[in-house]
Structure 1
């Protein structure tokens, strides 16, 4: 029997944790995502890194999926060689999450991506990434030195985008902890928000009947003190509830 609350999957990574002198590969995701899903009325389940066959099963049990933050996306996924500035990647995670995006889109399951998750959505749908934005191109650093629970810069929300219509605001203050950003945007996505230096900060599906929201920032760290961020996350929760 279907539960009244939506089941929302949260992607994870593999972290080596030392216990009593032995290294144990462990499933890891930021607990703030779990708290966020509970806050917006969902049931959180963590999705371990597995294989493409398991990814197909994940979309059968989830009413929505959060693609969490983490490692850089391996540039081979968008036909580029790695630059020196590329940071840690996780091939196994890429190999599961990229098809997971495509299966979720095919099944029209709402998806939300933050930071790495934005890149995963874009690359899975045919886009590419700037492997490192800490160059002359960038008007300011996007890797803030303060806590992610504090905003560091403003974004402008496009007036004609679905996100603007839903939130009713033209700008917002966000946090920033990344060194990569979208380069070529996937055809099925549209820009929903940008930073003052032109960095893409939010994307959404061109098809307004499909809930896809990718965010370069971390609303899960801001919503407790920011009504706009809470509203944004609640929109995702409501989209996940529609199938219930």
Structure 2
């Protein structure tokens, strides 16, 4: 019996109060764990540590999911924090940014959602918009309904790897973010956009590398959307290789 691929999932540190005592805890959305199990992988939650530990994670994992969470610290893309910036986690950035770089160097497949898209882009030389204005758009990028429901449509570039994975030029996605990509890293390309021009997906220019960043959350949509399930299954297949 072949071993299932081990897929690391990044996490954050959440202070949980128990009987009046604050306990820093490892936290990631359990939906990532469920999704990895569903596609036939072994989920491993990767605690926030340091760049040295990130190298150890690379040796452990066949693929890595960069999960959602805090804003990427603007100094990591040479900007001063704006007043619209929300919570950041420098310790997490200082582990995850090298983790992206090590994964790319070692040809480990990576998938990023929401914050994860930003982490991949910044780690490889791109930058972020610290806060996007959505009032002039026909839809909000911070939907009020559950993330398990789509809220708007994206357009997928027909020559992209993402188009090959989904087999469609249009897809319905969920949306829970206030940041977006500004400058795309040179080794990446835009794979999909929203109607207002916000970048919804980036991928490697190198067709042989599985590097995919998504502004949306396929781990929340796959149960009701076969396109999203197929995307996750192809990520697992890349991890198997």
Give the TM-score, by structure 1 length: 0.96
Cross-structure match for 2:44: 45
Question: What does 1:185-196 align with in structure 2 at a 5 Å threshold?
Answer: 185-196=184-195
Quick one: distance in 2 between partners of 1:198 and 1:206?
20
Paired with 1:158 and 1:22, the residues of 2 have a C-alpha distance of 51
- Give, in angstroms, the shift of residue 200 of structure 1: 0.4
CA distance in 2, matches of 1:201, 1:150: 16
Does 81-90 or 162-171 show the bigger shift? 162-171
1:232 corresponds to = 231
| Alignment-derived partner of residue 222 in structure 2 | 223
Partners of 1:120 and 1:172 lie apart in 2 by: 23
**Considering only aligned residues, what root-mean-square deviation do their CA atoms show, in Å?**
1.2
Q: For 1:20-35, list aligned pairs within 5 A.
A: 20-35=19-34
Distance 2:75 2:136 in 1: 23
Structure 1 distance, partners of 2:177, 2:2, is 36
What corresponds to 2:121 in structure 1? 122
Where structure 2 has 5 or more consecutive residues not aligned to the other structure, the ranges are none
Q: TM-score, normalised by structure 2?
A: 0.98
1:200 aligns with 2:199: yes
Cα distance, 1:3 vs structure 2? 6.1
Aligned to 2:13: 14
Distance 2:114 2:161 in 1: 20
Q: Kindly indicate whether the alpha-carbon contact (under 8 Å) linking 2:166 and 2:231 is maintained by their aligned counterparts in 1.
A: yes
Gaps of 5+ in 1: none
Give the conservation status (yes or no) of the 8 Å contact 1:134–1:141. Answer: no
In the alignment, which residue of structure 1 is the partner of 2:154?
155
> Number of residue pairs matched?
241
